[in-house]
Amino acid sequence: MGYGQNLKNILDEKGMTVKELAKKVGIAPTTLYSIIQRDTAVRFDTALKISHILNIPINSICKDNPYEPGETLPILPSDNEKLMINLQKKAYFSDRTLKLVEIFDYTELPHIDQLIADFFVLNDTARNDLFEYINIMKRSHTDPKRKKILDKTK
């Protein structure tokens, strides 16, 4: 029996559904279903969250512990800390990103929304590739007028 099946058994014992756990962890239920069906290990950062939520040892669902034995594992933020983090995100968005969005024409907003949603679903490798591509494109395709406008929003 592998890590995915262990997770399924633990969920059954705790009387929790995959959807409930996914919501608490902040990941897609399909991710957890995939782990269970393929009977694979859970990524360490996700396993850390799950182990705290389910109050289980992390090694029951994850084999890839990047920490040395005896090393203190990072503590997940409390509900109050999560609230502060969300407030900081909102402040950042209103201080920087909202200023950028206000520059766009109203008809472009659905495209901006779609770009953000598309970026969200990409894995880390694809995100890094996208940033590299954008940097290459900026070298030869930057509009000086738009650059000037952007510089004023900082």
Asked whether residue 106 is domain-assigned, the answer is yes
The gap from C-alpha 135 to its chain's centroid, in whole angstroms, comes to 23
* Cα–Cα–Cα angle for 60, 3, 35, rounded to 5 degrees: 130
Please report the DSSP string for 70-96 in residue order: TPPPPPPPPHHHHHHHHHHHHHHIIII
Q: Tens of pLDDT along 56-103?
A: 888 888 876 666 666 555 666 777 887 888 888 788 777 777 888 888
pLDDT at 16: 93
pLDDT in tens, 28-56: 888 888 888 887 777 788 888 888 889 88
pLDDT for residue 19: 93
143 band by pLDDT with thresholds 50, 70 and 90: very high
Q: Which helix (H) or strand (E) holds 52?
A: helix 44-54
CB distance 47 to 65 below 8 Å: no
Domain region containing 51: 3-60
The span from the CA of 51 to the CA of 137, in Å, is 42
Handedness of CA 125, 126, 130, 136 (dihedral sign): positive
User: Quick one: 144 and 116 in the same domain?
Assistant: yes
Give yes or no for residue 11 having a pLDDT over 90: yes
Per-residue pLDDT reduced to its tens digit, 113-142: 898 889 889 898 888 899 899 989 988 999
Do both 20 and 56 map to the same domain? yes
Is the same domain home to 45 and 98? no
Mutual angle of helices 44-54 and 3-14, in 10-degree steps: 20
93 and 37 share one domain: no
pLDDT of 154: 67
Place of tokens 């520059």: 103
- List, as one string, the DSSP characters of 90-146: HHHIIIIIHHHHHHS-GGGHHHHHHHHHHHHHS-HHHHHHHHHHHHHHHHHH--HHH
Looking at residue 35, its pLDDT comes to 86
Residue type at 51 in one-letter notation: S
On whether residue 128 sits in a domain, the answer given is yes
> Residue 51 falls within a domain, yes or no?
yes
Q: Total structural domains in the chain? A: 2
pLDDT at residue number 88:
83
